[in-house]
C-alpha cells in the first residue's frame, strides 16, 4: 500500500477530561473535546460524536463529489448519523453500530445518474470504509433506493 498523505494533530489536556485538538494547518480552528458525566463536564463533544460527525461528513462529501462529477443536481444535503454505544462482555464501552441517513434533496429517485452515484459513492468515503473494518455502518440515502 502506498501512502498518499499523512498528517499529525496534537491533543492537549485542558482540565479534567477536556482536551484541545490542534490541527496541522494553521487555518483550521482548534477543537475542544470533553466526556459526559460522570467523567467530564460535557462542555464539548466527545470522541464518539466526532467519529459520527466524521462518518456523516465523509459520506455526504462523497455523495456530493459523485453527483457533481455526474452533473446531477442535488438540493441541500442533510445527513443524520445515529450512533449506538454498548457494553462488551467485559463491560467496556464500544461504538457498536452507526446508521446514516442522507437526504440529498433529489426529486427524481429513478434518474440513472443518481442511481449510479448510489452504487459508487460509499466506496470513495475514506472514513466510513476504514471504520467499517470494525464497526457496522449502515447507510440509507433518502429518495434513492435501487
Question: Is the CB of residue 103 less than 8 Å from the CB of residue 145?
Answer: no
Which pTM does this prediction carry? 0.88
Q: Let me know if 21 is exposed, middle or buried by CB neighbors in 10 A (0-12, 13-18, 19+).
A: middle
The pLDDT of residue 52 is: 97
Instruction: Compute the mean pLDDT over every residue in the chain, rounded to the nearest whole number.
Output: 91
The pLDDT of residue 71 is: 86
CATH of 47-141, one of 3.90.420.10, 3.30.300.20, 3.40.50.1970, 3.30.465.10: 3.30.300.20
pLDDT digits (tens, 9 = 90+) for 75-85: 899 999 999 99
- Going by pLDDT thresholds of 50, 70 and 90, the confidence category of residue 63 is very high
Average pLDDT over residues 87-95: 95
Q: Is the pLDDT of residue 43 over 60?
A: yes
User: Rounded CA gap, 10 and 108, in Å?
Assistant: 45
CA 131 to chain centre: 9
The pLDDT of residue 36 is: 95
Q: In this structure, what DSSP letter does residue 35 have?
A: P
Question: Is the CB of residue 70 less than 8 Å from the CB of residue 111?
Answer: no
The pLDDT of residue 72 is: 86
pLDDT digits (tens, 9 = 90+) for 115-132: 888 889 999 999 999 998
Omega within 30 of 0 (cis) for the link into 38: yes
Delimit the domains of the chain by residue range.
Answer: 1-44, 47-141
Amino acid at each position: 500500500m502506498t501512502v498518499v498523505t499523512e498528517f499529525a494533530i496534537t491533543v492537549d489536556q485542558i482540565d479534567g477530561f477536556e482536551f484541545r485538538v490542534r490541527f496541522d494547518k494553521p487555518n483550521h480552528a482548534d477543537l475542544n473535546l470533553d466526556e459526559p458525566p460522570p467523567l467530564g463536564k460535557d462542555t464539548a463533544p466527545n470522541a464518539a460524536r466526532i467519529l459520527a460527525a466524521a462518518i456523516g461528513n465523509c459520506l455526504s462529501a462523497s455523495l456530493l463529489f459523485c453527483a457533481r462529477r455526474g452533473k446531477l443536481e442535488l438540493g441541500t444535503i442533510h445527513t443524520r448519523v445515529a450512533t449506538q454505544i454498548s457494553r462488551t462482555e467485559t463491560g467496556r464501552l464500544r461504538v457498536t453500530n452507526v446508521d446514516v441517513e442522507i437526504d440529498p434533496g433529489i426529486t427524481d429517485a429513478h434518474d440513472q445518474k443518481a442511481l449510479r452515484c448510489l452504487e459508487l459513492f460509499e466506496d470513495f468515503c475514506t472514513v466510513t470504509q476504514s471504520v467499517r473494518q470494525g464497526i457496522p455502518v449502515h447507510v440509507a440515502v433518502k429518495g434513492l433506493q435501487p
